[in-house]
Each structure stands twice: as structure tokens, then as C-alpha cells.
């Protein structure tokens, strides 16, 4: 029984769980769906809802605002594609701050439940959780980001094969992901850039850590020196004391508990 349930989970056979939500992370029935949408508590994949400004929707909005007929509004495809690549670069670099990206997909679909969706699958769940915590509720391009964990792990199951092969008869209203095409060389160069950024940040963190360590060592050395000096009966001015450290070694034989004010200054400086 349990085995059968596991096998049919999220398929058409499954009468309890919604196959669309399970596979695509978005279902056109939304909260009114008759089947269950199991929102994961953790996932390596996050969904940023409706964040990409789809050129078709933007043109419709512009037409609406200027009282034009929505059907007459034309879209400059070249500009739309340029805008998309800039958007993709932005998203990639922003998201890669949280960890290595395994897959970043931007939907070209037009259905209200999926339009402008961006899915990002990280190498691990921790990176996804960090990204969600930081990005959710922030603004991007004037839009508040609504971020959630997504059940989508295998994008082969989520994407529309017809669209990938050059033509889906259902067009923008297909329920499977129409993943916008991004040239591979662009992805490679973004991966390189983000890797470089990560290394740089790691170096910086290491340098900060080393500096803190040195600081701690220095202050413990200062404490030792102070103790040492307290043990001596001689008093030096702060300059002299550092210069004559070597010399004074042989002299530090008489033990006295009197701390000189100058040594205290020395510690602070």
C-alpha cells in the first residue's frame, strides 16, 4: 500500500496530491485546487513568484494605462530579449551569492498562476534557505519578491518538451514550464564570475579571520608583556619599552608588583 502511494505520488493516478503542483510548483487552480498542494518545509529549489516582467503582460498593462486596444500593441522582440538577458544576469549574480546554482529557470508562460516565475535550484538546501530568508519581502525592479520553497527538483519533469523542441500548440497558456532560452556561453561566464566572487569573498573572510586572530594574539602578547613589566621594578616610557624589549630581558629579574601608568597606556595604544 505504502509502496503504491509512493509510486503514484504526484501523478495523474494520485487522487490526493496535485500532480501539477508537485511537478511544476504551480497549479492553475491555486488555493481552490481539489487536490493537495504539499508545500515543502525545505528544498534546494526556491521559487520567486511573478518576478520577471513578461513583455506580453507589460505591453498589455501599458495599453491599459494609455487606453489603447491591447491587441494593437506591438512588442519589440529584440529589446525584450535584451531586457530578459539583463534580468537573467541580475538574478543569477544575486542568487549565486547564497551558493552554487544548479539550475536557474525563467518561465515564458502567460497563465496567471505561473507568469514571470523564476525557479532557482541550488546545490544544497542551506543555500536555498539563506536565499529565501534574505530575498523574501525585498524589492526588485519595483516588485516585492514573494519567495517560497518549491517541490520542483527534476526540471525534466517540469518543462514542456514541445516548447523546447520549438513549438508548443498550447502556446503561453501551457501548464508545463516554458523555460526561456539562455545561451550556454552566457551561463558559463556567469558561473565563472560568481565563482570568482565567491573566492574573493572567501579570501576576504579568511583575511578578516586572520586579522582577528593576529589582534587576539597581539592583545594576549600585550597582556603578557604587561604582566612581565609589572613583574619588573623598572618603568619605561611607552616608546622606550618597546624598543628596549630585547635589552630589558636580562634585567627582568627583580620581581615587583607595581604597575607603571605608562605600561597601561602602552596596552591601549
Question: Does 33 contact Zn ion by CB under 5 A?
Answer: yes
Taking CB under 5 A as the rule, does residue 21 contact Zn ion? yes
- Yes or no: say if 200 and 230 are a contact pair by the CB < 8 Å rule: no
Give CA 99 to chain center in angstroms: 6
Among 46, 168, 177, 179, binds Zn ion (CB under 5 A): 168
Instruction: List the grid coordinates of 190.
Output: 556567469
DSSP summary character for residue 149:
E
Using the contact rule CB under 5 A, the part of the chain among 29-37, 46-54, 90-98, 188-196 near Zn ion is: 29-37
Q: Which residue, 108 or 266, has its beta carbon nearer to Zn ion?
A: 108
Contact between 18 and Zn ion per CB under 5 A: yes
* Contact region with Zn ion (CB under 5 A), list: 21-29, 100-108, 138-146, 215-223: 21-29
Dihedral angle, C-alpha 147, 149, 150, 153, nearest 10 ° = 130
Contact between 188 and 182 under an 8 Å Cβ cutoff? The reply is no
Task: Select the span of 131-139, 146-154, 170-178, 260-268 touching Zn ion (CB under 5 A).
Answer: 170-178
- Helix/strand/coil for 107: strand
- Backbone dihedral angles phi then psi of residue 224, each to the nearest 5 degrees: -60, -45
Among 26, 59, 158, 174, binds Zn ion (CB under 5 A): 174
Beta bridge partners, 122, equal: 101
Say how far apart CA 106 and CA 140 lie, in whole Å.
Answer: 15
Angle at 118 between CA 52 and CA 202, to 5 degrees: 110
**Residue 152 binds to Zn ion (criterion: CB under 5 A):** no
Subset of 54-73 contacting Zn ion (CB under 5 A): none
Nearer to Zn ion, 30 or 183 (CB): 30
Name the one range near Zn ion by CB under 5 A: 31-39, 92-100, 180-188, 237-245.
31-39
Using the minimum distance from each CB to Zn ion, give the nearer residue, 31 or 78. Answer: 31
Instruction: Tell me the backbone φ, ψ of residue 46, rounded to 5 degrees.
Output: -115, 155
Binder of Zn ion out of 160, 177, 179, 190 (CB under 5 A)? 160
Q: Which is nearer to Zn ion, 47 or 190 (CB)?
A: 47
Which residues are within 8 A (CB) of 269 and not within 5 positions of it... i.e. 6 or more apart? 238
Q: Does 106 bind Zn ion (CB under 5 A)?
A: no
Q: Which residues bind Zn ion (CB under 5 A)?
A: 18, 21, 27, 29, 33, 160, 163, 168, 170, 174
Amino acid at each position: 500500500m505504502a509502496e503504491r502511494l509512493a509510486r503514484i505520488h504526484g501523478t495523474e493516478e494520485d487522487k490526493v496530491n496535485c500532480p501539477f503542483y508537485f511537478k511544476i510548483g504551480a497549479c492553475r487552480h491555486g488555493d481552490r485546487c481539489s487536490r493537495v498542494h504539499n508545500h515543502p518545509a525545505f528544498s534546494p529549489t526556491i521559487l520567486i513568484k511573478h518576478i520577471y516582467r513578461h513583455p506580453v503582460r507589460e505591453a498589455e498593462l501599458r495599453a491599459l494605462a494609455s487606453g489603447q486596444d491591447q491587441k494593437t500593441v506591438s512588442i519589440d522582440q529584440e529589446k525584450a530579449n535584451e531586457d530578459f538577458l539583463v534580468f537573467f544576469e541580475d538574478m543569477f549574480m544575486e542568487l549565486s551569492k547564497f551558493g552554487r546554482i544548479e539550475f536557474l529557470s525563467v518561465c515564458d508562460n502567460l497563465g496567471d498562476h505561473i507568469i514571470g516565475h523564476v525557479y532557482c535550484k541550488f546545490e544544497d538546501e542551506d543555500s536555498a534557505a539563506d536565499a529565501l530568508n534574505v530575498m523574501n519581502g525585498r524589492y526588485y525592479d519595483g516588485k516585492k519578491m514573494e519567495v517560497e520553497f518549491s517541490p520542483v527538483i527534476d526540471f525534466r519533469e517540469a518543462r514542456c518538451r514541445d516548447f523546447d523542441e520549438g513549438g508548443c500548440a498550447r502556446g503561453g497558456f501551457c501548464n508545463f514550464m516554458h523555460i526561456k532560452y539562455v545561451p550556454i556561453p552566457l551561463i558559463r561566464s556567469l558561473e565563472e564570475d560568481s565563482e570568482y566572487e565567491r573566492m574573493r569573498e572567501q579570501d576576504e573572510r579568511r583575511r578578516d579571520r586572520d586579522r582577528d586572530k593576529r589582534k587576539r594574539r597581539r592583545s594576549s602578547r600585550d597582556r603578557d608583556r604587561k604582566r612581565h613589566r609589572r613583574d619588573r621594578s623598572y618603568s619605561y616610557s611607552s616608546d622606550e619599552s618597546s624598543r628596549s624589549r630585547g635589552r630589558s630581558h636580562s634585567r627582568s629579574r627583580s620581581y615587583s608588583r607595581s604597575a607603571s601608568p605608562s605600561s597601561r597606556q602602552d596596552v591601549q595604544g
